[in-house]
Amino acid sequence: MRSRGVTLIEILTVAAIIAILVGILIPATQMARRAALNGKQKMQFAAIETALVAFKNDYGDYPPSDASVAAGGRDFYCGAQKLAEALVGRDMMGFDPNSGWSMDDGAYKATTGRRDLYLDPDTANAYRLGAGPGVVGLFDQNRLWNLAAASFVLCDAFPQYQIVYTEGTSTRYVRVGSPILYFRANRLGRTSQEIYNFEDNMQIILAKENIDVLNHGRSRMSPWGQDAKDRVAAFYAFIRDPRVPVVDLINKPGEGRPYRSDSYILISAGYDSIYGTSDDVTNFARIGGP
């Protein structure tokens, strides 16, 4: 009895079924990975919020977020950097109560008088902002738009950048996320623009967009990275609580009331690593957002 072979039609049918299954499984896997990273990011925000409460209990207020500028008009020191200084220290050795919140204040002379770290350094996801020859960091320090390269930032849970560690003859690679943006509220303000200042993290956003263009060969500019007027309008639309009525958002984009108007805002760039898009993870629940 002659054995029957597999026909071309049967092979094509099996291939079609496999293709359909792959088409179903790949998006499901990506959704599951995204959901897991979102959950991890929310847990990191919860840890940061606990640490910020402890910091406020010790010092009477949350850390500042205004963008300080060192002598000579260089070395911006922004909200994301000040958040890391408060919770892990400017040099990962704990917060110095003598800090003047400026990279040129000369406060960090020794480890004496340091507080304990408010976040565990092993889980804080803190990395030096600037990288250079023999220096481990997040971005090339020659392309940081005058940011203080020696400072640290807390990175989110969405792996985007590759950090290279070299120890002797061994080299290892770690993938880390984007800097977490931090804005402290001005509790005396009446509108979104008076309560939160977009410029608090502007240099961080510009540096990241610059690095993304270099790494990806194309623009990955966020909705906050357009010309000045559109940038301001997009940011305040993003943080505005739509439940609070406003009169004229077209001519006064900073009107209205923001979320978390009495404390601070944390923003992760999310899965797409671009600030200002719908998948950003925040410490407030946006109406109609993710």
CA–CA separation, 245 vs 255, rounded Å? 9
Of the ranges 3-7, 64-68, 168-172, which one carries the lowest mean pLDDT score?
3-7
Q: Which is higher by pLDDT, 154 or 244? A: 154
Structure tokens at 89: 């220290």
The CB-side HSE value for 65 (13 A sphere, CA atoms) comes to 27
Please tell me the predicted confidence (pLDDT) of residue 50. Answer: 96
Percentage of the chain lying above the pLDDT 90 cut: 36
Q: Is residue 152 within a helix (H) or strand (E), and if so which, with residue range?
A: strand 152-154
Residues 129-168 pLDDT 10s: 888 777 888 888 877 878 888 889 999 999 988 887 776 6
pTM for the model stands at: 0.85
CA dist 54 → 57, 90, 112, 262 (Å) = 5, 18, 20, 17
The residue extents of the domains of the chain are 7-290
Choose among 261, 252, 198: nearest CA to 225: 198
SS3 annotation, 13-60: HHHHHHHHHHHHHHHHHHHHHHHHHHHHHHHHHHHHHHHHHHHHHHHC
